[in-house]
Amino acid sequence: MVVTRRFRLPLEVVLKTLAVAACYYVAGRLGLLGRLTVEGVIVTPIWPPTGVAVAALLVYGSAVWPGIAVGSFLLIASLTTPQPATMITVAGNTLAPLCAYLMLRRAGFRIGISRLRDGLALVFIGGLGAMLISATAGVGLQVVTGRLDTVEFWSVWLAWWVGDAMGVLLVTPLLLVLVGAAGPLRLRRWKEMLVLGLATLIVVPLSVVGSLSLLFLVFPLLIWVALRFQLAGSMLCALFASVLTTFEASRQQGAFRNLSAIEVMTKLQAFNGATALTALLLSAMVAEQRALRRSVQNACRELAEVLEHLAAGETPPDLPTGHTAHVGADDTAPALERPRDG
């Protein structure tokens, strides 16, 4: 019995690590379908593996970081012959999400993203901040090995950095919803959900595929979804819009017709960034306000019970200790201060 318990934990970690490596590899192959070329270097406007890596660390803890390194190495090996310098890129791809996890943990990030501060932390710490590491390591290696001129560094670096950040902002929240870390999915308003789904399937292609630049039509839809279905609906809609827009940009069709490569990348990244920020931050604000309202309603209900007992001359019941300690926080989303490393 002792031996079984001793080997159960390492085996569980190994299986999770292998699963992370497989998911990282598959996400990378999918991300390469929407690749663009900037200054002769292939970049992806949305790099899903960074979102997979950050979500895996948030859910399983830092023990699964080797899976990120293995997945990154296998992905690079599938594209080109690995060189000794390849390990620098692998290290950057591993350190970036790991630093994102550690900084989010230090900031008190809750994986339910039920507070505005959680959304802001994921944007500025997990996405824009930590992904500086992977972009600098990857593009810097291109310059050192002579594959990229120094004057082209910043344009390629910016495209690489934004692509990695978009992977965190668009993929990580959706994965946290799918694994249940952001709370259970509620399907009570299935009729409205069906209408929103049909509207998304009509409005998004109409905005992206048409020859007119109608990308702004996506944002009223995003706001509607975020207000009604919070993180699950808004991030799914944002990811669908961003993926479809990325494929149109890679073919320079629709709203990206007759644009140069730099103009396509700039317009695409501005749209993807605005979409991710709108969906993520607005849904976090709505979730926080709803949690605050529930806390106030519970406090009012308990106060009414106390007053009823006092009016009847009875001793009021004891209130639950600490019932107002986390006003505005979602009780279904565990704090990152207690990661599940096993």
258 pLDDT band, cuts 50/70/90, is confident
Q: Is the pLDDT of residue 339 over 60?
A: no
Q: What is the average pLDDT across 272-289?
A: 87
pLDDT tens-digit readout, 283-296: 888 888 888 888 88
- Top-confidence residue, 316 or 332: 316
According to the model, what pLDDT value does residue 53 have?
95
Mean confidence (pLDDT) of the chain: 81
Distance, CA of 221 to CA of 201 (rounded, Å):
11
According to the model, what pLDDT value does residue 184 have?
57
pLDDT tens-digit readout, 203-222: 888 888 776 777 888 888 88
Per-residue tokens: 17: 């690590």
Distance, CA of 105 to CA of 281 (rounded, Å):
19
Distance, CA of 184 to CA of 177 (rounded, Å):
8
Distance, CA of 75 to CA of 92 (rounded, Å):
14
According to the model, what pLDDT value does residue 66 have?
93
Give the HSE-up count for residue 294: Cα atoms under 13 Å, Cβ half-sphere: 12
Q: Is the pLDDT of residue 313 over 80?
A: no
- Owner of token pair 């690995």: 82
Distance, CA of 79 to CA of 90 (rounded, Å):
14
pLDDT tens-digit readout, 227-244: 888 888 888 888 888 888
Q: Is the pLDDT of residue 21 over 90?
A: yes
Q: Is the pLDDT of residue 71 over 90?
A: yes
pLDDT tens-digit readout, 245-255: 888 887 777 77
Distance, CA of 142 to CA of 199 (rounded, Å):
43
According to the model, what pLDDT value does residue 314 have?
67
Q: For the chain, first and last CA: distance in Å?
A: 19
* % the chain with pLDDT above 70: 84
Q: Is the pLDDT of residue 39 over 80?
A: no
Distance, CA of 174 to CA of 229 (rounded, Å):
13
According to the model, what pLDDT value does residue 52 have?
95
- In angstroms and rounded to an integer, the radius of gyration of the C-alpha atoms of the chain is 23
172 pLDDT band, cuts 50/70/90, is very high
Whole-prediction pTM value?
0.80
Q: Is the pLDDT of residue 322 over 50?
A: no
